[in-house]
Structure 1
């Protein structure tokens, strides 16, 4: 779906915080050279991700697939029907679990919906690479799951970057509103918490709502908030789809340029909106890079290597100043970054 320079697979430089980059390479990811952990020699990889109705996960799929193509890895990717398809996603993983795969990449819809399916994989000793949305640690412990590594965004930090930006753009004491994803979702909560921590008591949060990660729901919600709170000066949305819904609500109210709207993801349509003056900024994650790192982690694991227990994928605030560079580089990061898995990858 997305084109890329094939050499990036091995030479990408992921700009990680020193604490993450310097993590001791703890936690054995494989159980023998080229061994899937159950005595098989399969280096085939299975990936189960969230729904491809969202461009974020389309980019993630491309990162997995194109890395596999470049590195000569046999990968099978299955996706949930949509963000609410918890049972369907688990069924797909259950089917794959019984097949000849040496490593599994999982991007669960919730912290627990894949745990039962993963239990079978965990018993076999095959490595499990958890990307983007973390598996609930208590549930994993109860199921005796040993997750080889977690790769994802520091969502609190991403929300914090958005909060810092909003504080710079609106006057102290201004009214702001927050629109999160699905109520109770860990990722959404972390982004919202990071945003609120960054603005502290400097700004007044007049409403916090959930819009199920959906643009049309956010449009309706933001329309109601603007009508009830004519002095609202800024919105924070926990993802770009909702952010773009808010932008439409602001436009419909004739307030474009008067209300700051910031979201998280860095999808291409959001980057274009930043360039065009719709979104004020987006905190870009790099789902393509998350997918690439997930596939590379499986390469390390199935060759008997060891992985860091956590790898933080990069984020960057994109304002109109950075929008052209971000669009040109999409879906890759627009700034150089250090890939902690590169020295661990097997040489062919």
Structure 2
């Protein structure tokens, strides 16, 4: 009798077209979760997931590419619905191969802030890095009145985000024949390495007027080196990210400016776009040319903003 009741109920459900959809699960293969920037991305993902009733499985690679590759493989095995990846080295084939495996398994992949190095990625959500670099270049050129000596601190060699920021910066600086770039060296997004690299560069180039660092951590390291050399008061330092430490440094009169990215919004939007992909809904993105074998990627780019002492109070929390 019980079997008949269950069978009747199932028939009624089928006739009414009622479905019991499984809860959506999104996997996030993070670069690291100790840098304030990536913590903000994580918060955006979690807040959006809470709003839309989505589960999140999160893995921290702690800046190790092999660990991140394993993390993506674990998410594939967990059969998540979408995988978000913040590649450790932007555009790397290691993260690209991991993304390829996910797509082959029928799982869409979204790049968050950094490109994964695969044409199969549905879209990458990030700040307009070229625009940010241009804003930094225009600010330094203006403060220097078109004349001076500049040092550039880059991210890891081969990192696309770093290349885009430095490329945008150099695009502007090249318009000013009176500005000379003394050196452009990687400091790997690290405050500690930014300090060491800047110390070495100051030995070779003691006469410097400005520093552009492709992220705030390297800029803060450069500031410590300039302090030790008693050159900070005469040197402009511009970072990139608008982290809480950078904003406080601007308020103290140490860092001159930073370029605001929108990490929280990137994470939040990644969840929203993931849901659109799963529902088959359209979303706007643009095709961007890249120096990779396939040449293009689809991206949603959020505009960058220049923050200086004049407007820093607006962004301090």
TM-score of Structure 1 vs Structure 2, range by shorter chain: 0.7 to 0.9
Is 2:54 aligned against 1:57? Answer: no
Paired residues for 1:239-258 under 5 Å: 239-258=215-234
Structure with max Cα Rg: 2
Quote the Cα distance in structure 1 between the aligned partners of 2:137 and 2:226.
Answer: 19
Is 2:121 aligned against 1:152? Answer: no
Quote the Cα distance in structure 2 between the aligned partners of 1:45 and 1:116.
Answer: 19
Task: Please name the residue that 1:194 is paired with.
Answer: 168
Does 1 or 2 have the higher relative contact order (CA < 8 Å, sep 6+)? 1
Is 2:62 aligned against 1:88? Answer: no
1:284-336 deviation per Cα after TM superposition (whole angstroms, max 9, x unaligned): 101111101111111212223122342112321110111111113xxxxxxxx
Quote the Cα distance in structure 2 between the aligned partners of 1:109 and 1:223.
Answer: 26
TM-score under structure 1 normalisation? 0.77
Quote the Cα distance in structure 1 between the aligned partners of 2:23 and 2:94.
Answer: 26
Is 2:189 aligned against 1:207? Answer: no
Contact 1:97–1:117, Cα closer than 8 Å, also in 2: no
Q: Secondary structure at the match of 2:150?
A: strand
Quote the Cα distance in structure 1 between the aligned partners of 2:227 and 2:100.
Answer: 48
Task: Please name the residue that 2:60 is paired with.
Answer: 79
1:170-224 deviation per Cα after TM superposition (whole angstroms, max 9, x unaligned): 1333111111011121111111111111111521001111111111111122122
Q: Secondary structure at the match of 1:70?
A: helix
Task: Please name the residue that 2:308 is paired with.
Answer: 319
Q: Comparing both structures, which one devotes a greater share of its residues to strand?
A: 2
Contact 1:105–1:129, Cα closer than 8 Å, also in 2: yes
Quote the Cα distance in structure 2 between the aligned partners of 1:223 and 1:129.
Answer: 38
Is 2:110 aligned against 1:132? Answer: no
Out of 264-273 and 295-304, give the one that drifted further: 295-304
Runs of 4+, deviation exceeding 3 Å: none
- Residues 119 and 224 of structure 1: CA distance in aligned 2, closer, same or farther (over 3 Å): closer
Q: Which runs of 5+ in 1 are unaligned?
A: 1-39, 329-348
1:228-282 deviation per Cα after TM superposition (whole angstroms, max 9, x unaligned): 3232100000110000011111111222321000011111111111111111000
Count of residue pairs brought into register by the alignment: 281
Contact 1:239–1:264, Cα closer than 8 Å, also in 2: yes
> RMSD of the TM alignment (CA)?
1.8
Quote the Cα distance in structure 1 between the aligned partners of 2:46 and 2:87.
Answer: 18
Q: Secondary structure at the match of 2:239?
A: strand
How far 1:101 moved relative to its partner?
A: 1.4
Task: Please name the residue that 2:157 is paired with.
Answer: 183
Task: Please name the residue that 2:235 is paired with.
Answer: 259
Contact 1:42–1:101, Cα closer than 8 Å, also in 2: no
Q: Secondary structure at the match of 1:113?
A: helix
Is 2:81 aligned against 1:102? Answer: yes
TM-score under structure 2 normalisation? 0.84
